[in-house]
């Protein structure tokens, strides 16, 4: 890869998925799961991995620990052809891990951040980043080392001619601040889910929340699970329906949506066209356990896309 089209700055960890837990865990008790999967985790890595699988040249900037989970993450990224030369080991901290448990139609997550918190603005290889077309950052609230400087990161990227996108993901502290609104003026595409959008905007109703966020960001694209996605750009709101599928596992569906969206965005498609393709990739990702497993077979994905995308 001479240069990446997409640079992802983000967190890296493994996911341990405990599927179909019989009942929700409580302190002092033990529960049984029907299946277990160890896979590549983190919003940033799932997006990067699946974007690469569907034809995007991806470079990654991040931190891992010098340990078995770090090796696992790096191997999975290399398998997908991602440029990982700017992923630095952090011997003082171990690689992060998210334990995900699914119960009926819901899920919970516990994340140990580990080395992802060590990433700071000093780790950004500016000469490398400026060669790309687009900069994406995920998990704003988990990247505490970088969080104070995300605004500076995005503004410099914009000054260098890149387009930008941001997916905050969940705030474990549930304060929903961190200066996020002050950053959105440098964000071309803001990609929260519906609950995140409501909480960041401080609005109960989604349409109102999107209107608030659109006062800062270039476009607000909100994923709404099985209800599809919504777009707010300027004063206009538009809804999009997803393909109908029977999901196996919804872990990583939002990140897979982002991967498909950014593939089309980098090809110069309209935001509406990007959303439609993103819903196809998000739906496809639910056809296997874990956020990246469905994309192991690229030919199978493209056959699915042909059937479900006009």
pLDDT tens profile 195-252: 999 999 999 999 999 999 999 999 999 999 999 999 999 999 999 999 999 998 888 9
pLDDT of 6 strictly over 70: yes
The band of 261, judged by pLDDT with boundaries at 50, 70 and 90, is very high
Tokens 């139609």 locate to 105
Q: 56, 57, 52, 58: which is closest to 87 by C-alpha?
A: 58
Burial of residue 258 (CB within 10 Å: 0-12, 13-18, 19+) is buried
pLDDT in tens, 85-102: 999 999 899 999 999 888
Q: What is the CATH number of domain 6-12+42-95+114-308?
A: 3.40.1190.20
pLDDT band for position 276 (50/70/90)?
very high
Token reading at 102: 């699914």
Which residues is 166 bridged to in the sheet? 137, 190
Distances (CA, A) of 9 to 84, 116, 254, 284: 11, 11, 17, 24
The sheet that has 106-112: what strands, in order across it? 35-41, 13-19, 96-103, 106-112
111 close to 96: Cβ distance less than 8 angstroms: yes
pTM for this structure?
0.93
Q: What is the pLDDT of residue 131?
A: 96
Predicted local confidence at residue 24, as pLDDT:
82
| pLDDT greater than 70 at residue 50 | yes
pLDDT digits (tens, 9 = 90+) for 115-135: 999 999 999 999 999 999 999
CA angle, 90 then 91 then 94, to 5°:
80
What's the average model confidence in pLDDT over 130-159?
97
């Amino acid at each position: 890869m001479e240069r990446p089209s997409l640079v992802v700055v983000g967190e890296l960890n493994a996911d341990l998925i405990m599927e179909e837990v019989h009942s929700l865990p409580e302190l002092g008790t033990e529960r049984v799961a029907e299946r277990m999967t160890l896979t590549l985790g983190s919003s940033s890595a799932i997006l990067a991995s699946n974007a690469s699988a569907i034809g995007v040249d991806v470079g990654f900037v991040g931190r891992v620990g010098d340990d078995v989970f770090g090796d696992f993450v790096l191997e999975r990224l290399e398998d997908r052809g991602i440029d990982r030369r700017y992923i630095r080991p952090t011997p003082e901290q171990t690689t992060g891990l998210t334990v995900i448990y699914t119960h009926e139609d819901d899920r919970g997550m516990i994340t140990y951040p580990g080395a992802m918190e060590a990433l700071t603005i000093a780790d950004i290889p500016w000469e490398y980043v400026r060669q790309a077309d687009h900069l994406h950052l995920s998990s704003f609230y988990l990247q505490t080392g970088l969080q104070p400087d995300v605004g500076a990161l995005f503004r410099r990227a914009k000054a260098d001619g890149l387009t930008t996108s941001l997916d905050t993901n969940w705030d474990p502290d549930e304060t929903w601040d961190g200066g996020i609104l002050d950053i959105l003026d440098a964000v071309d595409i803001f990609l929260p889910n519906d609950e995140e959008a409501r909480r960041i905007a401080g609005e109960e109703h989604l349409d109102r929340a999107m209107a608030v966020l659109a006062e800062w960001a270039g476009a607000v694209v909100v994923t709404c699970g099985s209800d599809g996605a919504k777009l707010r750009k300027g004063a206009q709101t538009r809804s999009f329906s997803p393909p109908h599928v029977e999901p196996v596992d919804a872990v990583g569906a939002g990140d897979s949506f982002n991967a498909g969206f950014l593939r089309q965005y980098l090809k110069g498609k309209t935001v509406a066209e990007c959303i439609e393709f993103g819903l196809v990739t998000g739906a496809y990702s639910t056809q296997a356990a874990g956020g990246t497993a469905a994309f192991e077979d690229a030919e199978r994905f493209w056959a699915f896309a042909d059937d479900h995308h006009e």
